[in-house]
Amino acid sequence: MLNFAYKNPTEILFGEKQINEARSRIPNNAKVLFLYGGGSIKKNGIYDDVINLLDGFEVTEFSGVEANPSYETLIKAVELAKQESIGFILAVGGGSVVDGGKFIAAAVNYDGDPWEILAKGGEVKSALPLGCVLTLPATGSESNGNSVVTRKSTQQKLPFTSPLVQPLFAVLDPVYTYSLPEKQISNGVVDAFVHVIEQYLTYPVNAPLQDRFAEGILQTLVEQGPKALANPQDYDTRANIMWSATMALNGLIGQGVPQDWSTHMIGHELTAIYHLDHAQTLAVVLPSLMYVQRDKKAEKLKQLGQRVFAINESDDAVQIDKTIQAVQNFFEQMKVKTRLADYDLTESAITQVVTNLEKNGMTQLGEHQDIDLTKVTAILKLAL
């Protein structure tokens, strides 16, 4: 096992009506920026619950944070937060709103052009405190220090990470997810699944506990995901998916093990250029990436097949083929398509993705830094 230092400071308030516990976690006398997306919270009652929660606080609302939040929109919220001397951000929505809140939190105090935080690794030295009410289990953003922001004008979708933007608390009420459209249920399960894979499917470092944490989350998603599609108002199913998605990317399972975020980095370009949903990009890239990297990932691919999909072939090549197919089948079962052609993309898209990766310096991806632009091309050709 590799060395690590691990702390997760986000307090999870999990369960029905747990929003009632959040009030005491918001700093007294703070002016609150209430941040949300395109308005789904006004249709499903969450907006009213938040207004109740914030009763007595001075509140400024900022709505319209898009899916795949844009720099162009968020920078307006940064100006507003400065004008209003905001002291606390409450992000209410899916990963996009939470990520947007994190960027605002970091940009308000940033000395210089905030774009540097994303594009040049500009150091975040201080940030506004932030809490969140999560409405879409998928990204793990509610309990990590990551944020991904898109600059529309340059078609760049870039991440940054800072412990200073990690939410102080996250309200996880499974009932808040009942109103999700089917497509977002599917997206969430696939995204969480791939988060686990990117921290698991590398090479063995004798870390059996991390492996079993990861396999437990994968098994739960494989079991519960289809149930959520079949019976969307089942509280227990929604609760199990919500907790799985948080555990998938709150840092725990990735401690002391190698990681490979190449599927995400390639996928981000497909969203930046062609506006595919985040999870759609992952469902396209991962099966082909597993195929191209099958030798380097052989041990873990075999283990994934055995422990998560109960595949037990004596021939290694067959074991690996069947495991990759099982992952692809699971995405299709969750109604997320796995081929570029399913999204009307052809070979010309591959050139565009490769050009963008090069522009963003993403030319040595994977746990061995051996996924170069030639390999990316091979991966995407297989996914056509």
Look at strands 169-172 and 130-134 and give their pairing. Answer: parallel
Least spacing, CB of residue 285 vs ligand NZQ, in Å = 12
- Residue 199 interacts with which of Zn ion, ligand NZQ, none, CB < 5 to 8 Å by class: none
Residue numbers of the site for ligand NZQ (CB under 6 A)? 37-40, 44, 67-68, 93-97, 99, 135-136, 138-141, 144, 146-148, 176-177, 179-180, 184, 187, 191, 249, 264, 278
- Residue 67 or 257: the one with the smaller Cβ distance to ligand NZQ is 67
Name residue 328's amino acid.
Q
Distances (CA, A) of 175 to 132, 180, 202, 235, 241: 16, 10, 35, 7, 12
- Residue 362 interacts with which of Zn ion, ligand NZQ, none, CB < 5 to 8 Å by class: none
Taking the C-alpha atoms of residue 79 and residue 356, their distance in angstroms, rounded to an integer, is: 29
- Per the CB < 8 A criterion, the answer to whether 156 and 197 are in contact is no
Q: Which stretch binds Zn ion (CB under 5 A): 16-24, 63-71, 160-168, 191-199?
A: 191-199
Q: Which stretch binds Zn ion (CB under 5 A): 9-17, 103-111, 186-194, 235-243?
A: 186-194
Length of the chain: 384
- Per the CB < 8 A criterion, the answer to whether 225 and 248 are in contact is no
Least spacing, CB of residue 97 vs ligand NZQ, in Å = 6
Least spacing, CB of residue 56 vs ligand NZQ, in Å = 25
The yes or no reply on residue 198 touching Zn ion (CB under 5 A) is: no
269 Cβ contact partners less than 8 Å away, ≥ 6 residues apart: 157, 352, 353, 356, 357, 360
Sign of the alpha-carbon dihedral angle for 87, 89, 149, 252: positive
Residue 29, helix vs strand vs coil: coil
- Residue 176 interacts with which of Zn ion, ligand NZQ, none, CB < 5 to 8 Å by class: ligand NZQ
Least spacing, CB of residue 261 vs ligand NZQ, in Å = 9
- Residue 94 or 114: the one with the smaller Cβ distance to ligand NZQ is 94
Name residue 183's amino acid.
K
Distances (CA, A) of 354 to 28, 152, 162: 49, 18, 27
Q: Which stretch binds Zn ion (CB under 5 A): 6-14, 183-191, 198-206, 212-220?
A: 183-191
- Per the CB < 8 A criterion, the answer to whether 141 and 102 are in contact is yes
Residue nearest to Zn ion (CB): 191
- Residue 151 interacts with which of ligand NZQ, Zn ion, none, CB < 5 to 8 Å by class: none
Please select the residue that binds Zn ion; options are 142, 173, 191, 211, rule is CB under 5 A: 191
Residues that bind Zn ion (CB under 5 A): 191
